[in-house]
Amino acid sequence: MASTVAARAPATIHTSFLLLLVILLSCDLFDRIIASSGEAREEEFTEELLLKPLPDKKILAHFHFQSTVPPSDSIGHHHHLFPKAIAQLVKKFHIRELELSFTQGRWNYESWGGSDPMSNINAKPPGVEMWAVFDLPVNDIDESWKGLTHALSGIFCSSLNFLESSTAYSAPHWGLRTNSSSMRYGALPREAVCTENLTPWLKLLPCRDKAGLASLLDRPSIYKGYYHSQRLQLFSSAASGIILDQTLTVVLQPNVQRNGMPNSYDRFLQPNWSIMSMFKKKVTGQCALARASSIFIELEDGLATELEKLGAGESWNNLAFDLSVAPDRVIKEHNSVEGKSSSILYEFKVVKYSKYEPLDVGIKWKLPLLWSCPEAPFHARRFLMGSGNERGSIAISLQPTQSCDQFLSDSHKCTVRAVIFQVAPWYVKVYYHTLQIFIDGRSVPVADVVEKISVSPSEDKVSPGSLQMMLRFPCDMNSAALAMDFDKGFLHIDEYPPDANQGFDIPSAVVSFPDFYSSRSYLEDNCLKQSPLLLKLQKRTALQSYTEVLLVPLTTPDFSMPYNVITFTCTVLALYFGSLLNALRRRIGEEEQLLKSKDSKRVGLIPRLLSKLKGRTLESHQSSSGSSASSKPRPKWLFKVIFVALIAVLWHYYSNID
């Protein structure tokens, strides 16, 4: 538009410049007006932080940064806020969806929750997990995946490129939450997560960690936590452009100043904390480029119920606790279930604070409160059975939790579905036909329980084995267990990773429950739509949990062995070739003639020695006492040897005496 205006007035340079300037300015203004009127036709960035006290006296901090860009044909190739690297990635590899998570530590499903949206969405397995859905024909996907892993490995300074190998990733169709035939899934459980992965992740933010909420990310504090999960999520479509969600979930233990002996009252009291005490920094205003920036403190429904029992109400300044700063807004969950309190959100707008008036929100507890988190309906555990380097079994056990009853209205005659997705590397050769299912200690025919199953067996050095299985259990069961046998394979010596003696990992299995959903529902409010974090929480998602990573000890060669083998083989080869050449070179007929002519005067040293020994011992054998008789050449020899030895010994002795 600007260019057309400029072309219309070429006559005088002076006026055209002025005009251009004016028009450009007006364009900018115009765009802003459009943006404020709700039509998201511009790149946007929002930053949010959610803090939540956990029942075991830890604090969950969840940073959520969202960058969006409208479709590229409407905005061109230049980006103001959106990271160009990601946009190029999406374009080049035709990504429709992508999720990449770097996690250290394990999510504690028992005490941090498993069925609320926060834990359901953000709990990830240790190490790296990555999946992507491509907008490509099936044949081109693998190529694109390989390129993508390499590109991401470069961007995030990690060994994601190990996912390139076809032995490392699989193609689930329906085992995961997102179902698509053009999906690829891979996990690296051993990947260590450190600041070198965080720095490139921060580079994708428009303000880096120089301003806004990201400036709270004090490295020593966030890496000291019990759980650290850094995530990148990408949605791209022709209609809405690209949405990039970057989240960082950490579970921290606030410092407790214990004065004196802990009494029982102190022991149950939640620790007091503030942003300053956890991150060693205060919030000094928002990132200037952010459209919205807010901090939430969430009190989950268990805690809210306890508060209600105390009659504390939902004010920020009550019997049980004090918030150090007055919240800008209190959002209450709209709960349909009667008799249960709903979770409370306190919102703080960062825009009101600045360097001179920093925000340092915190909680001070006055009364000890005990509550339990919303657990998932089933606890999924996975473990190895058996010992030794030959074979073993993988077992997955599902144990209903107490919250199971809440999910199930009528616990009789109903059934629960569970979907298990598990990938095992090829050297763990799972025999899927040995699948056994036990419910309440009784073996159950597989056909009775399994509703749907798809197995792709592993192929040696080509592809991992993957299992997707939908099970249907009776609701009132007390325990369920699945067991599958496997054989341990052998690797070629150069396929062993460093530190091979540690064992080999089987990545976490994903267990999801399509009958159960997690979602928060807040009263419809226009402002809520502004917050991507709250929108995420309101989304209905099926419950899903990750099991433990398993460590399988495999037979490991002694890696110094190749050296031994080389020396041995060389010796054997030398002997072989030596004797072969000897045999080829010799002419036996000639030798015999030679022997005849030479009259066996010149005999080799060893035969001579041997004949001597032989003569001697034969003689000694004949004379039964053995030592008395002596032949003529022997004493000479013996005397010589003994004489030399004696001289050597004496010389040594005298030389050492000085």
- Does residue 226 bind other proteins (CB under 8 A)? yes
Minimum distance of other proteins from residue 417's CB (angstroms): 21
Binding mask 328-367 for other proteins (x = CB under 8 A): ----------------------------------------
Closer of 5 and 481 to other proteins (Cβ): 481
* Per-residue buried b or exposed e for 428-448, using 16+ beta carbons within 10 Å of the residue's own CB: bbbebeebebbbeeeebeeee
Within 502-541, the residues that bind other proteins by CB under 8 A are: 502-503, 505
Beta strands (DSSP E) in 537-628 are 541-546, 550-552
Cα 171 from Cα 184, distance rounded (Å)? 5
Choice from 474, 553, 554, 619 touching other proteins (CB under 8 A): 553
- Does residue 610 bind other proteins (CB under 8 A)? yes
Closer of 529 and 598 to other proteins (Cβ): 598
- Does residue 271 bind other proteins (CB under 8 A)? no
Cα 322 from Cα 363, distance rounded (Å)? 6
- Does residue 575 bind other proteins (CB under 8 A)? no
Q: How many alpha carbons fall within 13 Å on the CB side of residue 308?
A: 13
Stretch that binds other proteins, among 61-69, 175-183, 561-569, 589-597 (CB under 8 A): 589-597
Closer of 438 and 517 to other proteins (Cβ): 438
Q: 162 with 168: CB under 8 angstroms? A: yes
DSSP state of 399: E
Q: 448 with 351: CB under 8 angstroms? A: no
Q: Which of 48, 29, 59, 91 is nearest to 363 (CA)?
A: 59
# residues contacting other proteins (CB under 8 A): 64
Stretch that binds other proteins, among 106-114, 147-155, 308-316, 519-527 (CB under 8 A): 106-114
Closer of 256 and 542 to other proteins (Cβ): 256
- Does residue 614 bind other proteins (CB under 8 A)? yes
The kind and range of the H/E element at 243 are strand 241-252
- Residue 77 burial class via C-beta count within 10 angstroms: exposed 0-12, middle 13-18, buried 19 and up: exposed
Q: 286 with 211: CB under 8 angstroms? A: yes
Q: Which residues pair with 480 in a beta bridge?
A: 398, 439
- Residue 583 burial class via C-beta count within 10 angstroms: exposed 0-12, middle 13-18, buried 19 and up: exposed
Two tokens, residue 431: 């025999």
Minimum distance of other proteins from residue 460's CB (angstroms): 24
- Does residue 218 bind other proteins (CB under 8 A)? no
- Does residue 230 bind other proteins (CB under 8 A)? no
Cα 451 from Cα 446, distance rounded (Å)? 9
Choice from 110, 142, 322, 328 touching other proteins (CB under 8 A): 110
Choice from 20, 23, 395, 408 touching other proteins (CB under 8 A): 395
What end-to-end distance do the CA atoms of the chain give, in Å?
107
Cα 130 from Cα 164, distance rounded (Å)? 12
Minimum distance of other proteins from residue 220's CB (angstroms): 12
Closer of 36 and 264 to other proteins (Cβ): 264
- Does residue 127 bind other proteins (CB under 8 A)? yes
Number of neighbours of residue 389 by Cβ within 10 angstroms: 12
Within 470-499, the residues that bind other proteins by CB under 8 A are: 479, 481, 483, 499
Which residues here bind other proteins, judged by CB under 8 A?
A: 56, 104-106, 108, 110, 126-127, 189-190, 224-226, 228, 267, 372, 381, 383-389, 395, 399, 402, 436, 438, 440-443, 479, 481, 483, 499-503, 505, 548-551, 553, 556, 592, 595-596, 600, 606-607, 610, 613-614, 617, 621, 624, 649, 652-653, 656
